[in-house]
A and B are shown apart, each in its own frame.
Chain A
Amino acid sequence: MFGRAFVFVFVLILFSCAKKQENDNVKILGHAATGLNILNSVYHDNSKEAVEFALSIEGCDGVEIDLQLSKDGELWLYHDEKLETETNGSGCISSLTSAEISELSYTTFHAERLAKLSSLDFTQFKGKELILDLRQWNFCESMYVPIQQVIDQLLNLNLSNPADFNVICLVEYAAWIEPLHSNGFSVFYPLYSSEEFPKMETQFPMIDGYVLKNPDWNEKEIQQIKNSSKKVYIFEVRSPKGIRKALRKAPDGLITDDIRNTLIEMY
């Protein structure tokens, strides 16, 4: 009798804590689609399958993907500098043509093919957000990627102002901010310290928002950026504790490595 009562009380305490729902305005986006190096991820990051999987989860508001320009000027989804770290190929995206890259696949259980940006089904983004992390550096030839080729690609795909979803260009190279903005793109910039903010605001007032690393920023600093009518998205969000901390900072969006954990914390 005592044992049963103990089990009942234990279960009651364990599961009776009602969660507050006060973060409804925070958007949840998958980092590199379903997260980088995450054990419970079904598909490899930045694959077409991962993008589709992330968008199909109820409550997921969009994805962030990493884009690199191929030798013949097409944008491909890929995160790492070199192909040999994750795929059955070698070299860089920038040193191969699209025909060569299309033959490559990730060395995973599903062996997902590398995906071209143009191969994504943009109809599934309806009402959602797509963050394009544009890589400016050609890793194999140690030179900057020509921005005009990137812009041409994005314009060809009609991503400057799509009718039913939101596209954000995330750039780390300040020289790309102006050309992207003047072509009608919404531009976000990663900030690594609070001292950078006033400088960037003076030099590049056209920036629409900032992407911040979760452990490096507190609620007050984030509020300060939001007060100047800029959007704030937080990344490096993975563990339940980290997700809770990030949600308390009230950003506009979370770029999370674990969509499931984040949705559980959020709702």
Chain B
Amino acid sequence: MSEAVSDSFLFTYIWFMQRVLFLLLFIFLVTFSSFAQKRATNDFKKQVGFTFGMNRLDFFSGCHFSKEFRNVQPFTSAEFGVNRSIFQKRIFPRLSLGLNYFVVSSKHFHFGPYISNSYSLLKINANSTHFHHWNELYVGTRIEVGNKWRFTNSIATGWMNERFYSQTTKKVTGVNSLGFFANIGLSYVW
């Protein structure tokens, strides 16, 4: 494929994504550690909620979990593609890990940039043994309105990479494109 990503480029991409994930995990673990909890019990809030959104591939619905330490809010979410999973009976999961940083944070309003990395996979041809894999690295903004119950909205754009087994080249190949993601949700904070 003329625009296909070369093996070395894919390797670099995976190497980079692994580092981003490790960094996010590190922040996530440090923030959630009991050490941090003991130090800042009053500043530490948990949040769980439902989200509904879309990217270029499908509408996604799922649950969202985060813990807020001062203005930093690492999160994780598990979603599934509504069209593919429900109407086409083909499981299409999407897992995300990311970080919000609220530059504006009051009792009822929070706003700031966020970064996320998502991974999803789908078996398009059930007769094949191969899956299509998508990696999305997005930056965007997140708004949360409310105190205990919060209305949430995230909008992001960035890099979407699709990897799959090519039936013409007989090897795994990848394509990059501009992706986007937008979702709304309702969360409970305690």
Contacts and interface: CB of A to CB of B under 8 A. Distances in A.
A260 B126 CA distance: 11
Given A58-B125, A58-B128, A59-B125, A124 B85 contact: no
Interface string B79-122: 00001111111110000000000000000000000000000001
A235 to B, nearest CB: 21
B167 A264 contact: no
- How extensive is the interface on chain A, given as a class? 20 to 34
B128 A59 contact: yes
A261 interface: yes
Interface string A49-62: 10011011111100
A52 B173 CA distance: 12
Given A42-B162, A49-B2, A109-B178, A57 B167 contact: yes
Contacts, number: 81
A56 B91 contact: no
A49 B165 contact: no
B2 A52 contact: yes
Contacts of B3: 43, 49, 52-53, 110, 112
A4 interface: no
A215 interface: no
Contacts of B132: 260
A151 interface: no
B94 to A, nearest CB: 14
A263 B2 CA distance: 24
B8 interface: no
A247 to B, nearest CB: 13
Contact of A52 (B1, B86, B126, B128): B1
A262 to B, nearest CB: 9
Contacts of A15: 85, 89, 91
Interface string A1-40: 0000000000000110101010000000000000000011
Contact of B124 (A14, A49, A55, A57): A57
Interface in B127-172: 127-128, 130, 132, 162, 164-169
A245 B29 CA distance: 50
Contacts of A240: 83, 87-88
B42 interface: no
Contact of A56 (B57, B85, B87, B169): B169
Contacts of A42: 162, 175, 177
Contacts of B127: 21, 59, 267
A49 B89 contact: no
Given A42-B175, A49-B1, A263 B125 contact: yes
A266 to B, nearest CB: 8
Interface in B49-93: 56-57, 83-91
Interface in A77-118: 109-110, 112
Contacts of A56: 1, 164, 166-169, 173
B177 A109 contact: yes
A15 B90 CA distance: 7
A19 B168 CA distance: 27
A258 to B, nearest CB: 11
A260 B124 contact: yes
A176 B175 CA distance: 39
A252 interface: no
A17 B91 CA distance: 11
Interface in A214-267: 240, 260-261, 263-265, 267
Interface of A: 14-15, 17, 19, 21, 39-40, 42-43, 48-49, 52-53, 55-60, 109-110, 112, 124, 240, 260-261, 263-265, 267
In order of increasing CB-CB distance, the 5 nearest A-B pairs are A56-B166, A59-B125, A267-B126, A109-B178, A52-B1
5 contacts: A53-B1, A58-B128, A59-B167, A261-B88, A264-B124
